[in-house]
Structure 1
Amino acid sequence: MNTSSITALPGVELKSPGAGLITLDPVHTALLRGLDGLLSALAARLAAPEILGPPLLSVDGLARLDFFRNFPHLGVSAGRFGPEALDGLATGGAPQDLPLAPTGHLLPSATCYGLLLSLEGQDVGEDGLRVSSVGRCFRNETHYDGLRRLWGFHMREVLYLGTKDGASEHQERGGEFVQEVAGRLGLTLTRAAADDPFYDNGGSRARLMALDPVKFEYSAPDGTAIASVNRHRNFFGERLDIRAGSLGPAYSSCVAFGVERWVHAMILAHGTAESALDRLRSAADSFS
């Protein structure tokens, strides 16, 4: 883990750019970088190489994954100024008064979507495939609340595609890792089944969800969910023609960490960002 020893900006106060937006000072930034490094240990344990997903996702691709049926409220679209607006901008026109043209793309709301779409049509083999990635994610929320709920934030994920048993094992090992790291960091988390599957909430798959939960969240004492472990069954394998050799459509699962929310949980547990950073550094020295 690498965190800067400089944790202050003398005489400078960083202001919030707006609701749901935040600029992290040096100590909070050191916490975020250090926590992501610690959470990356799961990828190392599972031999999941690091990749970097695309910064934009096509609406056509997301539609094929039922994103808009399940999460119509979350999407943050990417627009651009068309040729007709350029003269106005160049002559000092107010950007907010000029139209934005749609691009057919959204900013990612979760890291795994870009990774999955990049694997469309691939055969991951019966031994399966694991990858890890961290990305900026964006969600159109009804309200924002400090580090607990942001418009843009970092999400670290470790994704598995392969067999049904492999997906279940990945989910189980991910949950064990979350609790292990939380214990070392002095965090007390509660585990509960979540109710936001990648499926139509009114369909038969939603009823199956009630019998066989596919997502569990791990929350801090104030109710902030800071990590989740998810099984997608073979939903993405079917929709994207991702195969596990002769076994047919691949099953998948992922472990996800909202890194800013881990920063929040650390400060909640240890009182100040400085104390939280001291605890992180102590835990990281003995963690592998």
Structure 2
Amino acid sequence: MPSYRLDLDVPVSGAHRDELHRRVYYLSESITGFQLVTGAPGSDAVGAVVVTTEQPVDAEALAKKLRHVVDTEVLPQLHTPPKVLWNSPSDRTPRTGTFAALLADGVVHEAGPGQVALGTPALAALDAFDGLLREIIDEEFGAVEYRYPTLLPVTALHRSGYLFSFPQHLMFAARLDGDVDTYREFAEEAAAREDIGDRVLHRCAPVDRCLPPTMCYHTFDQFAGATLPAENTVVTAKGGSFRHESRYHQTMERLADFTIRETVFLGTAEFVREARDRFRRRATELVEQLDLAGRCEVASDPFFAGAATAMQVSSQRLLELKHELHLDVGPGESISVGSFNLHEKHFGDAFGIKGPDGGTVYSACVGFGLERLTYALLCQYGWDVDDWPVPLKERCRNTIRAGRGM
């Protein structure tokens, strides 16, 4: 495969290394691999990126894209030292090679890029985690639960700002234009060739549905234009979520197709902040009870390609609007399994959601990636249910015995 060294005009400091790393694959579909190259010996500043591609490309055009992203999205970010809010007392050490072993034992099946099917006992663990979280939600907040349809109106993501804040993650749902000639021509072409992926879009109707990147957008869309009868409202939902992760997808850590349990808080500023923080405390207590190794820290979302990207990332960290729960999955490796987010009035304004006093509501949400939680458990405990912590062991034995998760 061709390889190219893309030099930066200004080195990226070690403090911003992760922000650069999370953007390289989104520069171009042609990139199949990359390595960040540091400058002088002993320096952690990145001076170049070496990329590999499937076919020869215009290296200067690629370098221009890289420099633009670095200059507009990475370098302007304010450096804020990592802030850890909580550390697990567990000293449990995750095993290595977990995902390969799970595949070999048939516990999981890799269905495609960023897609993993779960078998026994992983599926039982996923359901058990959701049950434990649902108990917290019921005990603390008395949330109303909804099961939303999979498809989400594109207008919901437009109103929310997602379309122009995270364009790299978008996945749309298309259909053929409703005309008999279109159907006939497509059917004839599909019957005549195996690969039709590049022959679909020009025959499609305008796109008005997309796959949800997370559950909360369903909730905000549900209450769009509404005046809530109560001062504070709590809604929870579990469902499939979808994000294009380019080549960043790996194992069960970062999937394109995954399951989220998400809870949305709508109400006063004091209520949503207190609810967010209370849920975080209950979640860390659960992690301690399960003796899982990890931490909770201030974080930021992967804003990309927008004029205000650097400002959004910096302000989110400075205001501590986003907290993430990380669990260990290998020596020196962890994944975010949950996030605790304050939105201020952003979604209340965007969707026109009012409180009983007529004022715009504040909002917060707490979401957990159930496959990620399951993977962290498998990395730290293995997949013999008898070795799992008691709260999970009891639930999973009952699930498997009942024939669910088989």
Tell me whether the two structures share a fold, i.e. TM-score over 0.5.
yes
Identity level (%): 26
From the superposition, tell whether residues 95 and 55 of structure 1 become closer, same or farther in structure 2 (CA, over 3 Å): farther
Over 3 Å counting, the alpha-carbon distance change for 1:37 and 1:209 in structure 2 is same
**Helix, strand or coil: the match of 2:167?**
coil
Secondary structure of 1:146's match? coil
Q: SS of the residue aligned with 1:68?
A: helix
Aligned pairs (5 A) from 1:64-213: 64-82=159-177, 83=179, 84-86=182-184, 88-89=186-187, 92-94=191-193, 96-97=195-196, 98-100=199-201, 101=204, 102-125=206-229, 127-142=231-246, 143-196=248-301, 200-203=308-311, 208-213=315-320
Please say if 1:230 is aligned against 2:341.
Answer: yes
- Quote the Cα distance in structure 2 between the aligned partners of 1:125 and 1:94: 56
The match for 2:122 among 23, 28, 31 is 28
Residue 59 (structure 1) aligned with residue 154 (structure 2): yes
Partner of residue 382, structure 2: 271
8 Å Cα contact 2:107/2:118 also seen in 1: no
1:157–1:12 CA distance, 2 compared to 1 (3 A): closer
C-alpha distance 106-85 of structure 1, shift in aligned 2 (>3 A): same
Q: Which moved more, 1:99-108 or 1:126-135?
A: 99-108
The equivalences for 1:209-220 within 5 A come to 209-220=316-327
| Aligned-partner Cα distance in 1 for 2:242–2:387 | 26
Deviations along 1:161-198, one digit per CA (max 9) or x if unpaired, are 00000011111111011101111222122111112288
Matching residue of 1:240: 351
Gaps of 5+ in 2: 1-104, 397-406
Aligned length: 274
Alpha-carbon distance change, 16 to 125 in structure 1, aligned in 2, over 3 angstroms: same
1:50 is paired with a residue whose SS is strand
For 1:21 and 1:162, the matched residues in 2 are separated by 36
Q: 1:44 aligns with which of 132, 138, 142?
A: 138
Q: CA deviation at 1:54?
A: 3.1
Q: Once the 2 structures are TM-superposed, how far is the Cα of residue 51 of structure 1 from its aligned partner?
A: 0.6
| In 2, Cα distance between equivalents of 1:170 and 1:220 | 22
Structure 2 counterpart of 1:3:
none
How big is the alpha-carbon RMSD for the aligned residues of Structure 1 and Structure 2?
2.6
Q: In structure 1, what is the Cα distance between the partners aligned to 2:380 and 2:108?
A: 24
Q: Point out the structure with the larger strand share.
A: 2
Query: Whole-Å Cα distance in 2 between the matches of residues 154 and 206 of structure 1?
Result: 25
Q: Tell me the SS of whatever aligns to 1:229.
A: strand
Q: TM-score, normalised by structure 1?
A: 0.86
Larger-gyration structure (1/2): 2
Amino acid at match of 1:38: L
Matched, 1:251 2:345: no
Gaps of 5+ in 1: 1-10
